[in-house]
Amino acid sequence: MHCAGGLFRGNFEPMISTPKRISGLLSGSGLLAATLLTVGGSSAAVVSSAAGPIPLAQLVSNHAFLTPPTTADCVAQLGIACYAPFQFQKAYNLDPLYKQGFTGAGKTIVIVDSYGFSGIGQELKAFDNAFHLPPPPHFAILQPEGPIPPFNPTKRPAMVGWAQETTLDVEYSHAIAPDANILLVETPVAETIGVTGFPQIVAAENYVIDHHLGDVITQSFAAPEQTFPNAQSLLKLRSAYKNAADHGVTVLAASGDQGPSGPKTVTPQGFAATYFLRRVAEWPADDPLVTGIGGLQLFLNAKGAETQPDAVWNDTALFGSPAAGGGGRSSIFDRPWYQNGVASAVHSSRGFPDISMSAAVNGAALVYLNANAAQGAAGFYLIGGTSEASPEFAGIIAIADQMAGHGLGLINPALYAMEAAGAPGLVDVTAGTNTVTFPQSGATHTVNGFAARDGYDLSTGVGTVNAALFVPELVAAVR
């Protein structure tokens, strides 16, 4: 891989590259609405978050572990489960692939985050040391749209949430594909509801694709279609996805963290201030050229073996506000041809998500944050949300790219063909719902979502993966 900024083997302080700014690629507005929530004890509170394409991360704060806790430690001290990388590796059945040498080697995962975080190198080193992971062969930071402002939570409170999002994305894409290269693409503008931010992200993604810098792109942000001024303002932002499809690059996006609802307004810090009281659809996860990644709750023992089947992620009761995997039907995109076989679920619209991975806070990923990212003590924190699910699946795709010997590009047609054929590597999820009930404006509201059922559904897509079977099946289906 060639990158203007250089790539460094085993270097945890990657050089930052800022190629000449790309201008005039796109116009239009992008609106993101998602929240970063904090649970302290049994009560839920909203805390500092990133504005714009707002990171879909759910952080359990007020408790930093100096060393990685066990699942039992988390249950005893916080009342919820937590999982380490080796448990997720076991849950997704990755060990047979690793033993065959399929670890993502030679492939590059591209992570796109507003602001990013200057401390990510030190955090990743601590994370890898704690969980006995090798450093990524190459890790670089690229800033195609210009330099990132200095980290200043007082002046730019959105930076805190993006720092945490960046850390989650980097650590868990690496945890799944430990020998894949990582390219962190940072943009200097975070978006709130309005036109700011998305054009820079799209331009940065086009730069990566045009320069052949990666094989799979993961995006941990989402915006309800209903918050765009009109359909055309959203459609103007699709050039990177068309570009990726033309060049064999797989693009993923988290499906959202509010179940069938979504934030209607956000605070200046980027929090959800109010929620839609009806079903909405999240873009870019519902874009036909993007693979939407939904959220699951995993139930694992200390070694990562399942103690009961996966379920739809829904922590709404834990947070006291919508906190569940996004899913539903687009109001802008018609049903793509590859979803014709699931028309009974999606009707005439593009349905999402396409596939799901771990996202629950009760069953959270252990993430190492330094003091700046945590805005507290450095240590291991519990984070969930579909922004965990998307980088995890990016790791799966990097492994599949390695097996195939090339980028797989748009995988959605293959996923639905596999579902129709009953591919053993797809694990159906049949428990749970993403319905959310929450207080707003002095009343309690319910937005009815979608229950998991046999086959495809609008809360988990085609299900999740048994990676040892799924990866070769996907490679064969794409060919």
Q: What is the CATH number of the domain that holds 38?
A: 3.40.50.200
DSSP 8-state code for residue 277: S
For residues 438 and 442, what is the distance between their CA atoms, to the nearest angstrom? 10
Instruction: Flag whether 7 is in a domain.
Output: no
For residues 355 and 295, what is the distance between their CA atoms, to the nearest angstrom? 9
- Taking alpha carbons only, the member of 187, 189, 221, 161 closest to residue 374 is 161
- Taking alpha carbons only, the member of 83, 75, 84, 78 closest to residue 61 is 78
Residue 198 one-letter amino acid: F
Instruction: Flag whether 2 is in a domain.
Output: no
Tell me, what's the pLDDT at 270?
65
User: How many separate domains does the chain show?
Assistant: 1
- Taking alpha carbons only, the member of 311, 269, 274 closest to residue 447 is 274
Instruction: Flag whether 11 is in a domain.
Output: no
Q: Which residues pair with 383 in a beta bridge?
A: 59, 365
- For 355, the enclosing helix (H) or strand (E) is strand 355-358
For residues 351 and 442, what is the distance between their CA atoms, to the nearest angstrom? 32
Reply yes or no: is the peptide bond before residue 353 cis, omega within 30 of 0: yes
Dihedral-angle region of residue 134 (phi above 0 means left; psi in -120 to 50 means alpha; beta otherwise): beta
pTM, rounded to two decimals = 0.90
Instruction: Flag whether 9 is in a domain.
Output: no
Instruction: Flag whether 267 is in a domain.
Output: yes
CB contact at 8 A, 282 and 326: yes
Residues in contact with 351: Cβ distance below 8 Å, sequence separation at least 6, in sequence order: 286, 327, 328, 329, 330, 335, 339, 342, 345, 456, 458
Kindly state the tokens that stand for 228: 């765009």
Pairing between β-strand 37-40 and β-strand 43-46 as defined by DSSP bridges: antiparallel
For residues 391 and 386, what is the distance between their CA atoms, to the nearest angstrom? 9
Q: Tell me the residue range of the domain where 456 lies.
A: 16-478
Q: Which residues pair with 16 in a beta bridge?
A: 141
CB contact at 8 A, 327 and 354: no
Tell me, what's the pLDDT at 1?
31
For residues 11 and 475, what is the distance between their CA atoms, to the nearest angstrom? 31
Instruction: Flag whether 10 is in a domain.
Output: no
Tell me, what's the pLDDT at 13?
45
pLDDT (tens, 9 = 90+) of the chain, 479 residues, equals 323 333 333 334 454 554 432 222 122 211 122 223 333 222 333 332 222 355 556 666 568 999 999 999 999 999 999 999 999 999 999 999 999 999 999 999 999 999 999 999 999 999 999 999 999 999 999 999 999 999 999 998 888 888 999 999 999 999 999 999 999 999 998 755 544 688 999 999 999 999 999 999 999 988 899 988 899 999 999 999 999 999 999 999 999 999 999 988 876 666 678 999 999 999 999 999 999 999 999 999 999 999 999 999 999 999 999 999 999 999 999 999 999 999 999 999 999 999 999 999 999 999 999 999 998 999 999 999 999 999 999 999 999 999 999 999 999 999 999 999 999 999 999 999 999 999 999 999 999 999 999 999 999 999 999 999 999 999 999 98
Instruction: Flag whether 4 is in a domain.
Output: no
Instruction: Flag whether 217 is in a domain.
Output: yes
